[in-house]
Amino acid sequence: MLKDILSISGYGGLFQFISQGRSGIIVESLEDQKRMNANANAKISALEDISIFTDIEDKPLKDVFKAIFDKEDGGVAINHKASANELKKYFEEVLPDYDRDRVYVSDIKKVINWYNILHKFEMLNFDAEEVEETIEEGKEVKEEKPKAEKKEDKATE
């Protein structure tokens, strides 16, 4: 779900990876479908690689999105432009053990804004992820699946 969705420092909104270019990557804005070249030295983060600090361990962003999705019964979250106190209170309800010293209001705003953008474009499909995780149970799935899957020891199944 989040592998090809990118955040680019200096640009608002989210982008979808399209292809590799000569001097960077070609991305398309989710909001206006305009394509652009993201320079190779721009700070680009895949949402799949982002996690939120908690008191125990870092929580992957997809798990935070799932918690918001569950809290809102599949609806939109509060506006990311709400007051700092409202945002903190909302985030406490979604992720009670988030690290209040290392997760800033600006981070909460981004997470909520990203959730609402993904919700708007119906890109929050948690059921498909759960099926994929069940199928791939016990295997660590990265961007590329290994080509020689037959070599794995399946004697324990």
Report the pLDDT value the prediction gives residue 22, as an integer from 0 to 100: 86
pLDDT band at residue 126 using 50, 70 and 90 as cut-offs: confident
Going from N- to C-terminal start, the domains of the chain cover 5-47, 50-120
Top-confidence residue, 17 or 2: 17
Top-confidence residue, 128 or 71: 71
Top-confidence residue, 21 or 35: 35
Question: Which helix H or strand E contains 8, and what residues bound it?
Answer: strand 5-8
- The CATH code of the domain at 50-120 is 1.10.10.1650
- The CATH code of the domain at 5-47 is 2.30.30
How far are the Cα atoms of 120, 124, 132 from residue 97, in angstroms, in the given order? 27, 23, 27
| pLDDT tens for each residue of 22-77 | 889 999 999 999 999 999 889 999 999 999 999 999 999 999 999 999 999 999 99
pLDDT band at residue 128 using 50, 70 and 90 as cut-offs: low
Give the single-character DSSP code of 151.
G
Report the pLDDT value the prediction gives residue 90, as an integer from 0 to 100: 98
Question: Which helix H or strand E contains 132, and what residues bound it?
Answer: helix 126-135
For the chain, what is the mean pLDDT? 85
Per DSSP, the chain holds a count of helices (H) and strands (E) of 4, 7
Q: What are phi and psi for residue 111, nearest 5 degrees?
A: -60, -45
Reference 6, options 77, 75, 61, 69; nearest CA is 61
